[in-house]
Amino acid sequence: MRNVFLIGLSGSGKTTVGRLLAERLGRPFLDTDLLVEQRCGKRIATIFAEEGESAFRAREKLALQEAAASAGAIVATGGGIVLDADNRRLMAERGVRIFLSVEPETALERLRQQEAVARREGLSPEVRPLLAGDDPLAALRRLQAERRALYEEAEATCSTDGKSSEQVARAVLAALIALGVLEGGEPLERQIRAGEGYAAIVDWGGLGRLPAYLARLELPRRVFLLSDQHVYDLYGPPLLRTLQRAGWSASSYVLPAGEASKSLQQLSAIYDWLVEQRAERREALLALGGGVVGDLVGFAAATYLRGVPLVQLPTSLLAQVDAAIGGKTGINHPRGKNLIGAFYQPRLVLADPATLLTLPERERTEGWAEVVKYGMILDAELFTLLETHAAALRDFSLPPASLLAQIIARCIALKAAVIEEDEREQGRRAILNYGHTLGHALENVTGYGEWLHGEAVALGMVAAAELAYQAGFLAREEAERQRALLAALGLPTAYHGKPQSEALLAAIRLDKKVAQKQVRWIMPRRIGEVFQTTLPDELVSKVVYSLFGGESITRSSAGARQEEA
């Protein structure tokens, strides 16, 4: 494993961010300043005062050599470590350099805050010899001017101004992933026999190996990277650099983050950009992001020039296990979700579980709804596995990389088996919509934003299980197991908000699965087995009102019209 060297001015947050990275990745953390102090038993300010800067730099050089001899360490370096050409060469040879950029004014404010904290805790504040004069801001500006070109030799730059340490750590993680620094076990690959056939690959840190995966497709070496603003800010620049270093020409398009981007207006804007770029029929679109990006860019790929190659690069759990697999693409209509779209299979799906490290907790958590769905509809063993490891999967402080990759690959294999049998949702594939009828309706009536997709699906699954229980299909104990697992993974299991029952019932009638004016519900018979059926309107109304309008639930004597899928 390669080391990671954090470089930058004092006050850029190298030590704080470095500790966060080491904790998140389970790697050792080293600080060259601390190594110097430990080896000679003196504070750095004392070394400067007694021996001079040149003696300190010699000690710092030895400390860096010691740190560089590690394997996979996160190393916070002193601000002036880049002044020595041997140091710069050693860091480039033994790892990857990440420049944490900061404006001098921000750096000074952070250093003063650190001094204030130390004094409140009764500690002696750290004295930084090069900033000890009457005008530390002028000193920081001078140091920045002298060193900036050396800092910018780094493989990636992450701005720290206006960001918390957690946000900077996520940005550094994204850069490490895109640069191919993170390594996991052997990639897990599933060939999907749909469309022209394609590989779905689960590879921890695999995003940084994208050029090699693209080369397998034997397509022109010009590609178009499309992403939303949030994902692009994290991954865009380092991933473009990785592609360009490997000889690929890559242009990028950034769209607004959020469900609202799945619109005719945004689709038209993508068409305009592709025309301006003179994109050709064999040149691939790379969809980098979550389900929104995959759906929208997938539909653009399906329709531009009557179809261009599509590569799905899902960065959310929800997209990795579901949205990126199977060729469903589309946009929303004011009257319903995904009402406009096409079935269009990608040429490649590359799911990198390491990208989940950079997701905010809520966005990572929503993806577990789709994973639980697979357990409910197809795989009782997967459901039990999730129950066993729910705490570790939700916590994610030290992600279980191997387990996570196996779960994602298992979900992909389950979905692949279904779509290979029924690519265009004429029969069995409909079971993948378990929990989605009410979930999509909830998203629609609340305006695509109040509830994330996975959160809405979780509530839809709770409602589906309640419907199945009320109709006499599912034991109460099984419905409770589902509810308990959703809750254990951090998902909502009860609706809190203004009553939406009437609007939900109206939205359900516009569901894509309506056939001959009847809604086709996916009902669980037991964990791991579901079937399609229609349900009496009065039963659906009763359960919807009870869950989204406050009425109590009693077991219904009304029968259901059952039809096996």
Domains of the chain: 3-178 (3.40.50.300), 188-359 (3.40.50.1970), 422-562 (1.20.1090.10)
Sign of CA dihedral 131, 133, 135, 139: negative
Higher pLDDT, 338 or 167: 167
Residue 426 banded pLDDT, cuts 50, 70, 90? confident
Q: Give the C-alpha separation, 374 to 529, whole Å.
A: 10
Q: Which residues contact 392 (CB under 8 A, 6 or more apart)?
A: 400, 403
% of the chain exceeding 70 in pLDDT: 95
Q: Residue 76 pLDDT more than 60?
A: yes
pTM: 0.89
- 115: confidence class by pLDDT, cuts 50, 70, 90: confident
The Cα 268–Cα 288 span in angstroms is: 19
Residue 116 pLDDT level (bands cut at 50, 70, 90): confident
- Interval 481-500 mean pLDDT: 94
Q: Give the torsion sign (CA, 75, 80, 81, 83).
A: positive
Q: Tell me, letter by letter, the H, E, C secondary structure of 199-265.
A: EEEECCCHHHHHHHHHHCCCCCCEEEEEEEHHHHHHHHHHHHHHHHHCCCEEEEEEECCCHHHCCHH
Determine whether the annotation assigns residue 115 to a binding site. Answer: no
Q: Is 281 annotated as a binding residue?
A: no
The answer to whether 498 is annotated as binding is no
List the 529-534 sheet strands across, edge first.
Answer: 521-526, 529-534, 561-562
Gap between the Cα atoms of 103 and 99, Å rounded: 13
CA dist 239 and 211 (Å) reads 10
Q: What is the pLDDT of residues 387-416, one digit of tens each?
A: 999 999 998 877 788 899 999 999 999 999
| Partners of 24 in beta bridges | none
Q: Stretch 529-549: mean pLDDT, rounded? A: 94
**Is 16 annotated in some ligand binding site?**
yes
Confidence of residue 127 (pLDDT cuts 50, 70, 90): low
Q: Establish whether 80 is an annotated binding residue.
A: no
pLDDT digit string (tens) for 291-322? 999 999 999 999 999 999 999 999 999 999 99
315 labeled binding residue: yes
457 annotated to bind ligand: no
Which two tokens mark 65? Answer: 């050599």
Annotated catalytic residues are: 306, 328, 370, 415, 425, 429, 433, 436, 440, 453
- 561 annotated as a binding-site residue: no
CA distances from residue 280 to 23, 195, 239, 351 in whole angstroms, order as listed: 45, 20, 22, 26
Q: Mean pLDDT, the chain, as a whole number?
A: 93
Where residue 512 falls among pLDDT bands split at 50, 70, 90? low
Question: Can you state the percent helix, strand and coil of the chain, rounding each to 5?
Answer: 55, 15, 30
The three-class DSSP label of residue 65 is helix
User: Averaged over 358-383, what is the pLDDT?
Assistant: 97
Is 337 assigned to a binding site?
A: yes
Q: Are 284 and 217 in contact (CB under 8 A)?
A: yes
- Amino acid making up residue 81: I
